[in-house]
Chains A and B, each alone.
Chain A
Amino acid sequence: DTGVSQDPRHKITKRGQNVTFRCDPISEHNRLYWYRQTLGQGPEFLTYFQNEAQLEKSRLLSDRFSAERPKGSFSTLEIQRTEQGDSAMYLCASSTGSANEQYFGPGTRLTVT
């Protein structure tokens, strides 16, 4: 049984570039979540999918951010025109039927220079 996987694990990019992250949830988990975590803080919710439908978005998800889950399996999170303030760990989680049992992946650490 594999857990949630995320790719890449680390990404360094220059300000203004676009980046895309991928998340593969636990097999058969129909719910998928994205969070962002900065140093010394707990994760903050960004968005949630049930199957391929994006059902909830945080105000943190500005118009530079877009997330997709086209076939209800893996998901991508894209950040356009990155800013230094986007530097953070981007975490993906998945669950099956119970939002209180969210299992997290290892995260993608983004550094914007």
Chain B
Amino acid sequence: QKEVEQDPGPLSVPEGAIVSLNCTYSNSAFQYFMWYRQYSRKGPELLMYTYSSGNKEDGRFTAQVDKSSKYISLFIRDSQPSDSATYLCAMITQGGSEKLVFGKGTKLTVNP
């Protein structure tokens, strides 16, 4: 079992839809949870991060972490064609290794 599992999709939605992206993980030592957006043939771009459990909102994006279920989510409201990209979740422990552990990424297409 991989440390971080993410459904690769692809996921296709109409413009304006609410998108839900999810990851599960097995390592209970993870404390920081990140979401990156990666356009084709580009480097990943940090969208937001959350420490421990709870919600965090940034514009149209909301990140949720449920440590009891080892489950994290990213919601995109009022999705736009420019949101079409691969979304990667990543996690890191606190005070230990500096490495980010990534999911495979979910490829999202928002259709106009």
- Contact partner of A101 (CB less than 8 A), chosen from B46, B102, B103, is B46
How distant is the Cα of A102 from the Cα of B6 in the complex, in angstroms?
20
| Residue B74 interfacial (CB < 8 Å) | no
Number of contacting residues on A, CB 8 A?
Answer: 25
Q: In residues 22-66 of chain A, which contact B (Cβ within 8 Å)?
A: 31, 33, 35, 40-45, 48, 55-56, 58
- Contact partner of B99 (CB less than 8 A), chosen from A48, A104, A105, is A48
Number of A-B pairs whose CB atoms are under 8 Å? 61
Interface string of A90-105 (1 = CB under 8 A from B): 0100000001111111
Is B49 a contact partner of A43 (Cβ separation < 8 A)? Answer: no
Interface string of B40-80 (1 = CB under 8 A from A): 01111110010100000000000000000000000000000
Point out the residues of chain B lying under 8 angstroms from A109, CB to CB.
41
How distant is the Cα of A40 from the Cα of B42 in the complex, in angstroms?
14
Point out the residues of chain B lying under 8 angstroms from A41, CB to CB.
104-105
Query: Which residue of A31, A99, A105 has the most chain B CB atoms within 10 A of its CB atom?
Result: A99
Point out the residues of chain B lying under 8 angstroms from A103, CB to CB.
46
Which residue of chain A lies nearest to B103 when distances are taken between CB atoms in the complex?
A42
How distant is the Cα of A56 from the Cα of B99 in the complex, in angstroms?
8
Using A41-B104, A42-B103 as known contacts, say yes or no to A104 and B98 having CB atoms under 8 A apart.
no
**30 interchain pairs (CB within 8 A)?**
A4-B43, A33-B98, A33-B99, A33-B100, A40-B8, A40-B104, A41-B104, A41-B105, A42-B4, A42-B90, A42-B104, A42-B105, A43-B44, A45-B101, A48-B98, A48-B99, A56-B98, A91-B43, A99-B92, A100-B32, A100-B34, A100-B92, A101-B49, A102-B46, A102-B100, A104-B36, A104-B44, A104-B45, A105-B43, A106-B43
